[in-house]
Structure formats: C-alpha cells, structure tokens
Amino acid sequence: MYEVASAAAVTLGYYSGYVDMGHCGRMWCGHNTPFADPPLAFGSLIVGVTLGVFVMTIFRARRHIIMTLKMAFGGSRGEKIEAEEPMSYRTAWIIFIGSFILGIIVFMVTGMSLWASFIVILTGVVTWFTTSQLWGRIGFSNEPGYNFGPGFAKIFLWPTEYALPVTNTDRILAHTYVYELASHRPSVPWCTTFYTVLGSYKMASLMKVHPRNVVKIASISLIIAMLVACIMNVILPGVYGMGRTTCYTTNNLMFRVNHMWAVPSPRPMVDIAPWVVGGFVFMVVMSLLHARFLWMPDPVMSIIAWDWVGGLMGTWMVSLIVCVIKWLILRIGGSKFYEERTVPFAGGFILGAALNALIAGIGAFIAYRPI
C-alpha cells in the first residue's frame, strides 16, 4: 500500500523532486515525502494507528484490569488467580504507580516541568506497551521515535506550535528524552529491558518455570546491568577517547530538538490532526472487525506496513516472499509438517544469521580497529 500509494501520488504531481532523492531520503526525510506530508502523511497515520492499538488493548482487557484493581485495593480475594502471577496485584500496581511517580520526580529534578515530565513518561509507557505486541507477534518492530513518540508528546505539549525556540528546559530535554529514552528504537533503554523481560516470561512458560522466579532473576540482572552500564559510560570515553565511543554534545541535543519538530510531519499537530484521527478510527474499526471476522487481516501490522522501515529495509518484499512460501508449505505439507520441520528450520536459520553477525563483528573489530 505504501509503495503503490506513493507512486500514484508522485504520478499525480505531488511530492515534486521525490524521485531525485536518495533511497534513504525518500523514506524518512522530514518534508516533501509520503511519510511526512499530505496527501498521504503515513507518519501521522501511524500516530493514530498506534494510539488506537493502545486504546483497543485497554478496552479489550478492561474487565481484567478492573478485576486486578478490585483485588489490589477493593478487598476482593483471588488467591488461586494470584498464585500463578509473579506477585500480588497490589504489589504490581504499587510498583507501577510508584515507578511512574519516581520517573516524573527524576525528570523534574533535571529542570523539566511537572506536565512535561508526566507526558514523557506516559509516552514511553504507551509506546512500548503497543510496539511490544508487534515484536511478540512477528518478531519485528519499527522505530516509533520517528512517528508515534514525538507526535504523541507534541499533541499534549505543543499541539498548535512548530519549531519553538529553546527558551526553557522543557523545549530541549523533553525532545531529547522522548527520542532517546521513550520512543526511539527497540535497542534504547526502556524498550530493551521491556522486551528482554517479556522474552524471559515466554521462555519461562515454555520451560515450566514460575513467573515469580523470572521477576527475581530479571530484577537482579537489570540492576547489575544498569550499574555497570552507567560506570562504563564514564570509563570508556576516558580510556579510549570520545572519538571511539558514543558521547552526546550540544550539537546532538540540538539535533534531537530539531528532529522532534520534523516528525511525524514538519508542521503543527493541529494541521495534521485529520490524518492522526483517521489512523485512530481505522485502527478501532478494523480491530472490531478483525475480532468479529477471523479471516480479516490484523490491522496492527499497518504500523509496519506504513512505516519507512517497510521500504528502506525492503520488508514488504520479504513479507510477500515468505507469505507465498508459507502458503505453499501449508498447502503441500500441511500444518504438522510446518510445525515439526519448517519452524525448527527457520529457528536454526535465524540462529545461524545471528552467530554469523556476532563472529563477523568481532573479527572486523579485531582486524580493523577504529582509530
């Protein structure tokens, strides 16, 4: 859909100069592309779609959420239910609320306002709560720091403004935190730890390990990892020099400020509100239809299909080829052959690719050490 709609828009006279851009620029440049600007504005559509996924997930789980709240604070008892959980619902809710408040306090200590601190934390929660579903279902994710994260934050912080000068702490740290911490990519702090723990839960389920043990091990591991990472971020630049390590400077901070104003579209959020609302409505309607008619495609995947990662990384072509191969295997060999032979083969292929990248990376670092 992204590729066909983009070609049609250019043919009709939109996005002048688009075909002369480099491949990377066509995907994520901040202006005059199908991702950023109308009439397509796919980045703004993704903001609405992602928010729709979050809202619909809460809507479907509303009874369970209410049940946990009643058991946590309302006096209801459910020992058998909580026995299968890693901790009591009261403890879980207290940790969630307490850590949310603590995060706000930490950001306020840096000089940000209460409202901006709250929105940055909320952006991280909504972002990774939603994209973790993508990762869990297809093992693939996008970089919401180019669409949903900044779009969601600007809706509540600066809905009618664009490219404001840096006159207070909010206008520089909120931009940086939203991108680097709350919504950039799956390898940044919040999402990395979230995905790791979710993956641990899945492995524990397969190995019949109680979730309570997962929480204990994950907590110890994360605390150690955070401590070591903070220490090494100080030691490594001092030992090897800033040129060989990642270090943020004033230019990096200003780049993040300018970047947030440019995505998902280089204009005020009120100007692209129809696309955001359209994406939200699409997600709500399609989600209800998908729940009613199982043969309908899962609308959650539109986040990947309409994002620049689909074109830049060639995801749509890979997905098409895999779809054809999977259909042939199921038609010829059946579901049993697919589960017993194809899935292990694909798992081995992925493991081999990962080991190849690891070995090649270590070899390249040894043979061609950075100067």
DSSP 3-state assignment of 135? helix
Asked, for residue 340, whether it belongs to a domain, the answer is: no
- Note the pLDDT tens digit of each residue in 80-116: 888 888 888 999 999 999 999 999 999 999 999 999 9
Structure tokens at 80: 């058998």
Residue 78 has pLDDT above 60, yes or no: yes
Q: What is the pLDDT of residue 158?
A: 95
- Note the pLDDT tens digit of each residue in 256-276: 888 889 999 999 999 999 999
Asked, for residue 367, whether it belongs to a domain, the answer is: no
Asked, for residue 201, whether it belongs to a domain, the answer is: yes
What range does the domain containing 275 cover?
46-315
- Strand ranges, E, within 38-149: none
Q: Are 177 and 107 in contact (CB under 8 A)?
A: yes
Asked, for residue 120, whether it belongs to a domain, the answer is: yes
Q: What is the pLDDT of residue 251?
A: 52
Asked, for residue 356, whether it belongs to a domain, the answer is: no
Q: Number of structural domains, the chain?
A: 1
Q: In the structure, what pLDDT confidence band is assigned to residue 250 with cuts at 50, 70 and 90?
A: very low
Q: What is the pLDDT of residue 57?
A: 92
Asked, for residue 281, whether it belongs to a domain, the answer is: yes
Q: What is the pLDDT of residue 230?
A: 81
Asked, for residue 8, whether it belongs to a domain, the answer is: no
Rounded mean pLDDT of the chain?
87
| CA–CA separation, 8 and 6 (whole Å) | 5
Q: Are 59 and 28 in contact (CB under 8 A)?
A: no
Residue 371 has pLDDT above 80, yes or no: no
What spatial distance separates the first Cα and last Cα of the chain, rounded to whole Å? 44
Which residues, in sequence order, are CB contacts of 295 under 8 Å at separation 6+? none
| CA–CA separation, 270 and 287 (whole Å) | 25
Asked, for residue 345, whether it belongs to a domain, the answer is: no
Report how far apart, in Å, the C-alpha atoms of 203 and of each of 196, 210, 263, 353 are: 11, 11, 36, 21
Structure tokens at 253: 């901070």
The larger pLDDT score, comparing residue 362 to residue 250, is at 362
With vertex at residue 115, the alpha carbon angle to CA 230 and CA 164, rounded to the nearest 5 degrees, is 90
- Note the pLDDT tens digit of each residue in 20-54: 887 777 777 778 889 999 999 999 999 999 999 99
Q: Are 299 and 287 in contact (CB under 8 A)?
A: yes
- Give me the helix-helix angle, 62-73 and 89-109, nearest 10°: 90
Considering the chain, what percentage of its residues have pLDDT values greater than 90?
A: 44
Q: What is the pLDDT of residue 310?
A: 76
- Note the pLDDT tens digit of each residue in 309-368: 777 777 888 888 988 999 999 999 998 999 889 989 988 998 999 999 999 989 988 888
| CA–CA separation, 261 and 351 (whole Å) | 39
Q: What is the pTM of this model?
A: 0.85
Q: What is the pLDDT of residue 155?
A: 96
Residue 243 has pLDDT above 70, yes or no: no
